[in-house]
Amino acid sequence: MPATVDGDGRVTAWPTRPHWTGLDLAAALRGVFPAAEVCWADDADLAALAEARAADCADLVYAGVGTGVGGGIVLEGRMLPGPRRGSCELGHVIVDRNGARCDCGRRGCVQAEASGPATLRRAATARGAQVTFEELRDGFAEGAAWAVGAVDAGCDALAAALVGVAELVRPTALVVGGGFAMGIPGYVERVAARTAGLARPGHPPAPVRPALLGGRSSLYGAVLAARDGLGGVGQRHR
Ligand SMILES: [Zn+2]
């Protein structure tokens, strides 16, 4: 579930779909699956879990760049902070106190700086005309300054967020995925270079790798969460 869901199963925030706020998700799911045990977790947390399993890496930070920026942390094979304590909202890590306004209302969240729409807006400003995703991808491949500058600004923001989180949890890998990032050849490598550039003496950040599972990583994670008996994952409701 991309929305922020509280411990009782109610949607408390979903900036891009405000009409969902207040929905009793737990009751709704129980209504759809009356005979089944129901659990849920954040889609990016589940993607992180699936990427960790796919990479056979117990400690990683995952960031997915698409219409927003989602992310998850897996430490010792388990999602952090864990669904009972809420989702990992990597997209709302602040990377620029004077940055663009985020959907959440704050300024400078990494989502406001590095999401697909944020990058397209930056490209459009530099180019002086609207920019589609395909135009950005092609312009970036051709080395057009308006495209390279826009992508690099997003990569800078994402690298700052990843390094900041990595300072807290010491992952062994930083994984970048999401439809926008994976749709621009070279994007992950740019993030990797910027992340490496933020190394502290004696404390290089973990390597940045592309996601392995593509657009279905959240679904793989959901299957893992269900199959593994939900130990510590999601909320259980009969
Ligand atoms: Zn935000």
Considering the domain boundaries, does residue 15 fall inside one?
no
The confidence score (pLDDT) of residue 183 equals: 96
The confidence score (pLDDT) of residue 108 equals: 97
Could you give the number of structural domains in the chain? 1
Considering the domain boundaries, does residue 25 fall inside one?
no
Average pLDDT of span 171-191: 97
Say if residue 234's pLDDT is above 50. no
The confidence score (pLDDT) of residue 237 equals: 46
Q: How far is the CA of 138 from the centre of ligand 1 (A)?
A: 29
Say if CB 26 and CB 235 are below 8 A apart: yes
Q: Which of 93-102, 169-178, 207-216, 225-234 has the lowest mean pLDDT?
A: 225-234
Angle between helices 145-169 and 116-127 (to 10 degrees): 150
Helix (H, G, I), strand (E, B) or coil at 78: strand
Considering the domain boundaries, does residue 8 fall inside one?
no
To the nearest whole percent, how much of the chain has pLDDT over 70? Answer: 96
Say if residue 226's pLDDT is above 90. no
User: β-strand 69-75 against 78-80: which pairing, if any?
Assistant: antiparallel
Q: How far is the CA of 94 from the centre of ligand 1 (A)?
A: 7
Considering the domain boundaries, does residue 37 fall inside one?
no
What ranges in 68-144 are assigned the alpha helix state H? Answer: 110-114, 116-127, 133-142
The confidence score (pLDDT) of residue 3 equals: 86
Q: Which residues are within 8 A (CB) of 114 and not within 5 positions of it... i.e. 6 or more apart?
A: 65, 69, 153, 154, 155, 157, 158, 161
Q: How far is the CA of 228 from the centre of ligand 1 (A)?
A: 32
Q: By C-alpha distance, which of 77, 86, 37, 35 is closest to 54?
A: 77
The confidence score (pLDDT) of residue 56 equals: 95
Q: Which of 14-28, 112-126, 161-175 has the lowest mean pLDDT?
A: 14-28
Say if residue 195's pLDDT is above 80. yes
- β-partners of residue 80 are 73
Average pLDDT, the chain: 92
Q: 147 versus 234: which is more confidently predicted?
A: 147
Q: How far is the CA of 113 from the centre of ligand 1 (A)?
A: 10
Report d(CA 4, CA 103) in Å as an integer. 13
Place of tokens 């969240």: 109
Say if residue 217's pLDDT is above 50. yes
Residue 48's domain is classified under what CATH number?
A: 3.30.420.40
Q: Order across the sheet with 60-65: list the strands.
A: 78-80, 69-75, 60-65, 173-177, 208-210
Q: What is the pLDDT of residues 23-60, one digit of tens each?
A: 999 899 999 999 988 888 889 999 999 999 999 999 99
Considering the domain boundaries, does residue 6 fall inside one?
no
Q: How far is the CA of 201 from the centre of ligand 1 (A)?
A: 30
The confidence score (pLDDT) of residue 229 equals: 58
Joined tokens for residue 34: 């009356």
Q: What is the pLDDT of residues 106-154, one digit of tens each?
A: 999 999 999 999 999 999 999 999 999 999 999 999 999 999 999 999 9
Per-residue pLDDT band for 233 (boundaries 50, 70, 90) equals very low
Q: How far is the CA of 74 from the centre of ligand 1 (A)?
A: 21
Q: How far is the CA of 152 from the centre of ligand 1 (A)?
A: 20
Check whether the bond before 81 is cis (ω within 30° of 0): yes
Q: How far is the CA of 109 from the centre of ligand 1 (A)?
A: 5
Q: What is the pLDDT of residues 66-87, one digit of tens each?
A: 999 999 999 999 999 887 777 8
Query: Which residue type occupies 10?
Result: R
Distances (CA, A) of 146 to 63, 150, 152: 24, 6, 10
Residue 140 structural domain: 43-215
Query: What pTM value is reported for the model?
Result: 0.90
Q: How far is the CA of 72 from the centre of ligand 1 (A)?
A: 15
Report d(CA 95, CA 202) in Å as an integer. 23
Considering the domain boundaries, does residue 19 fall inside one?
no
The confidence score (pLDDT) of residue 231 equals: 44
Q: How far is the CA of 227 from the centre of ligand 1 (A)?
A: 32
Considering the domain boundaries, does residue 147 fall inside one?
yes
Considering the domain boundaries, does residue 55 fall inside one?
yes
